[in-house]
Amino acid sequence: MKRLRQIRNFMAVGSMVFVLFWSLPGFGNTLDSEKYSRVIWNYLETLCAFGPRNPGSEGYRETLDLIRKMGEKYADQVVEQPFSVRTSMSTSVDMVNLELRFEGTQGGAPILIGAHFDTRPFADEDPDPANWSEPILGANDGGSGTAILLGLAQYLNQHPVARPVHLVFFDGEDFGAKDSGLKLLGSTYYAEQLVKEEREKWPYWVLVIDMVGDKDLEIFKEFYSLKGSASFLDRIYRVAEDQGIQSLNEKMKYTIYDDHYPFHRMGIPSTVLIDFDYPYWHTLQDTLDKCSIKSMFSIFSVVVKTIEDL
């Protein structure tokens, strides 16, 4: 009994030391929370200042330029994957996935971390029908995931992890009208190209981040993620618990066709982290004031710690 208590005390001290080291700025390879909170938030502010970022818009072009520029600055390699989507008999839209590759220190199959950078061209869930044809700003839906990936690029440049990491900014996730079938366009195209490659080149794990900026953040386990990547989800939840992050709920809720789905279909363990209980989803109210630095950073730090140990 006494021995048990000793072990328990030792473990409690151990985790306190861990938390302390984790939060100390500039301590070895640990996360400078103040710096990276600011970095991520700045990216989100910049993206929102570009305005709506649906394909063809000015904001879309500015977003591509920003990702390319940060890729050149921080990544080992920037890969562009252009493709074209037929939207009717006579029209098509040019799109592009951008991939920032980090080699890692040990090699092996890469971890693919993805987010869609496009925003929805029309606010078709807006309470006011007059807004249904207006493009959304997508601070949370499109912005939050993109900002976190850009923050990861900056972080991985300074703190490489063992495995290669491929940060993929997917185009055309939110492009089409309901029932048009024109969704997940970038990730579907990416997966179609991957099928042609040898299996050794396939990702070890696919993690998609979408709508994680909500002030009132609560992320449930998503159906396909649980079905195809249970052990990775467990790992994420364990890290979150270690870090005292409360926004990850153990329960399963929602079946979501997000950018992880084309990879799940290929049999690759694929996870989406998404807070789908967001009242401003696909409305003109999906703006910066609905997001928080704290939510954004909590997901960033969970992702960083999770991929460090893979």
CA distance 177 to 158: 41
Residues making contact with Zn ion (CB under 5 A)? 141, 174
CA distance 146 to 168: 9
29, 43, 243 from 23: Cα distances, Å: 11, 22, 10
Contacts of 214 by beta carbon, 8 Å cutoff, 6+ apart = 140, 144, 275, 278, 290, 291, 292, 295
Contacts of 178 by beta carbon, 8 Å cutoff, 6+ apart = 124
Contacts of 38 by beta carbon, 8 Å cutoff, 6+ apart = 293
Q: If DSSP codes are grouped into helix, strand and coil, which group holds residue 160?
A: coil
Q: How far is CA 103 from the centre of its chain?
A: 19
Neighbouring C-beta atoms of residue 19, cutoff 10 Å: 13
Contacts of 82 by beta carbon, 8 Å cutoff, 6+ apart = 94, 95, 96
The pair of structure tokens assigned to 293 is: 């630095």
CA distance 14 to 228: 33
Strand intervals (E) in the chain:
77-86, 92-102, 111-116, 165-170, 205-210, 219-221, 248-252, 270-274
C-beta separation of 173 from 118 below 8 A: yes
